[in-house]
Amino acid sequence: MKKMEEGKMKKKVLSVVLSLAMTATLFGCGNSSTNTSTKGPGAAGTTEMEVEGEDVTTLNVWTFIELHQKFYTDMAEKWNEEHPDQKVKLVLSNMAYDDMHNKLSLALESGEGAPDIVDIELGKFPSFLQGDIGLRDLTDVMAPYKDKVVQARLDIYSKDGKYYGLPTHVGATVAFYNTELLEAAGINYEEIKTWDDFKNAGVKYFEATGKYFATIETTAQWMINLMLAQKGGGYLDASGNLDINNDKMVEVLTYIKGMQDTGAFSVVPGGQPDNEEAYPSYNTGEYAVQIMPFWQTSRFLNYMTDLSGKVAIAPTPVWNTSDNEFKSIGGGGTGTAIIASGENADLAAQVMAYIKLSAEANEEVWNVLGFDPVNTEVWANTQLTQNPENQFVKYFKNYPFDSLNAIKDNIGTIGDMSNEKWPSINNEFCTVTLNNIFENGMDVKEALDESQATLENEFQ
């Protein structure tokens, strides 16, 4: 019996590692550089704070996003200024995406080698909320900020009423319109209110220019998830069972297939707008519109520099303006978690709640990262959001936060994202299902039925 239990445990560890390795990288939040010291080929880049004083607590942090290292360090310095009796020294290790998540999984399973603090990408998070959860419940440290934070972004890192991850941004899905291209084709983006308006504008644009209006996705589900959530749909039924071939899913994907059939919408290189293959297509005017999470602002500044002053941010279309449907949903994300068994877990939780949720930190989330802060208290600060010296305010044609404030009270999410099936569902959709429909021309229901059967077999 003991050998059988040991065998089951080994199989469980292997299953978790394989699941993490197979999950597609769908929800990246940053990919910029910072000063790091590297120890040998393939080693993680490290950043270590310099903190004066003797009574300083060292906290080890793992991340896969280099830009987070500088942000965390800067905010930890502010924490130390405000809490001189609770000073911390962050030692941050930046690792390759899959390597870090796989290493974390093994550390939690073995009980050895885990950090104090770790960034866990949204698509991976459900894998760490199964069985004996090794992450600290953060409900207590969130309490002072909870009324000011977008609830939907807390929910995606929760299970059974407890919160295990601190969000980095809202990632509200918005529309990015190249106004120069649209105006030349006689299109006013402000008149686009519904998906039918969006589709018709695409047809008009294509007829006038011969170029594509917007993107069909095959390697991500940004627009798909929004359209599905607006209809009240999802990938799981009310009991958490797999249900990807449901009527609402068929309806949404069939509608998008109809968009593609007009000729005005196509699969962008790389399969989605947030991709190094796609950026040049937008930068040179091959496409006029992106439906993306708000954090795409940073990609415009970094990779689509020729569009400065031409792009306006607006609320996304809805199915029916008279219905009470989501105006937006959060897309992507990285949840910062605290390892429950850490010697300094309580202090680490307090520090990271300050770094991720406080108004001071969220101002820097906008100033430095260009993300939409989860603490909406700062959304009303026009000195911050309309600062003429801010690099993002300079780039975009209108004030980015105008659209955020317009949708502020109706930002949702799609289904129970803490369900352990999510990584496999994302992987299936972004490697098989969407390619079958939009690249191979397979019937929508047939493609969904096939993927439903594949996933049911996996979950048996």
Rounded to a whole number of angstroms, the CA Rg of the chain reads 22
Looking only at the bridges linking them, the beta strands covering 214-216 and 265-267 are: parallel
Residue 5 has pLDDT above 70, yes or no: no
Considering the domain boundaries, does residue 247 fall inside one?
yes
| CATH code assigned at 239 | 3.40.190.10
66 vs 221 pLDDT, higher one: 221
Cα–Cα dist 265/439, whole Å: 13
Residue 251 has pLDDT above 90, yes or no: yes
Please check whether residues 179 and 320 belong to one and the same domain: yes
Q: Which of 13-17, 136-140, 227-231, 367-371 has the lowest mean pLDDT?
A: 13-17
Q: pTM of the full predicted structure?
A: 0.84
Please check whether residues 368 and 425 belong to one and the same domain: no
Q: Which of 225-234, 235-244, 255-264, 318-327 has the lowest mean pLDDT?
A: 318-327
- Within 10 A of 30 (CB to CB), how many other CB atoms are there? 21
Please check whether residues 308 and 432 belong to one and the same domain: yes
Residue 101 has pLDDT above 90, yes or no: yes
Q: Which of 404, 339, 424 is nearest to 170 (CA)?
A: 404
Region 196-209 average pLDDT: 98
Please check whether residues 425 and 376 belong to one and the same domain: no
pLDDT at res. 44:
52
Cα–Cα dist 375/113, whole Å: 33
Please check whether residues 346 and 307 belong to one and the same domain: no
pLDDT at res. 249:
98
Model confidence pLDDT, tens digit, residues 51-64: 988 889 999 999 99
pLDDT at res. 443:
98
pLDDT at res. 423:
83
Region 132-157 average pLDDT: 92
Per the structure, the count of domains in the chain is 2
Please check whether residues 297 and 317 belong to one and the same domain: yes
Model confidence pLDDT, tens digit, residues 374-405: 999 999 999 999 999 999 999 999 999 999 99
Q: How far is CA 223 from CA 41, 174, 292, in A?
A: 39, 9, 7
Q: What is the percent of the chain where pLDDT is above 70?
A: 90
Region 314-341 average pLDDT: 91
Considering the domain boundaries, does residue 130 fall inside one?
yes
Please check whether residues 214 and 325 belong to one and the same domain: yes
Considering the domain boundaries, does residue 411 fall inside one?
no
pLDDT at res. 269:
95
Q: Which domain holds residue 120?
A: 46-169+332-385
Model confidence pLDDT, tens digit, residues 118-135: 999 988 898 899 889 999
Considering the domain boundaries, does residue 408 fall inside one?
no
Considering the domain boundaries, does residue 129 fall inside one?
yes
Residue 168 has pLDDT above 70, yes or no: yes
Region 242-267 average pLDDT: 97
Please check whether residues 325 and 336 belong to one and the same domain: no
Region 232-239 average pLDDT: 93
> Widest CA span of the chain, in angstroms?
74
- Mean pLDDT, all residues of the chain: 88
Please check whether residues 435 and 292 belong to one and the same domain: yes
Considering the domain boundaries, does residue 290 fall inside one?
yes
* Residue 189 near residue 175, CB atoms below 8 Å: yes
Cα–Cα dist 238/236, whole Å: 7
Considering the domain boundaries, does residue 61 fall inside one?
yes
Residue 20 has pLDDT above 80, yes or no: no
User: What pLDDT band is residue 36 in, cutting at 50, 70 and 90?
Assistant: very low
Please check whether residues 197 and 233 belong to one and the same domain: yes
Residue 39 has pLDDT above 80, yes or no: no
Residue 439 has pLDDT above 90, yes or no: yes
pLDDT at res. 417:
73
Residue 196 has pLDDT above 80, yes or no: yes
Assign 295 to helix, strand or coil.
coil
Please check whether residues 380 and 424 belong to one and the same domain: no
Residue 114 has pLDDT above 80, yes or no: yes
Model confidence pLDDT, tens digit, residues 291-324: 999 999 999 999 999 999 999 999 999 999 877 7
pLDDT at res. 383:
96
Considering the domain boundaries, does residue 21 fall inside one?
no
Please check whether residues 314 and 204 belong to one and the same domain: yes
Model confidence pLDDT, tens digit, residues 203-213: 999 999 999 99
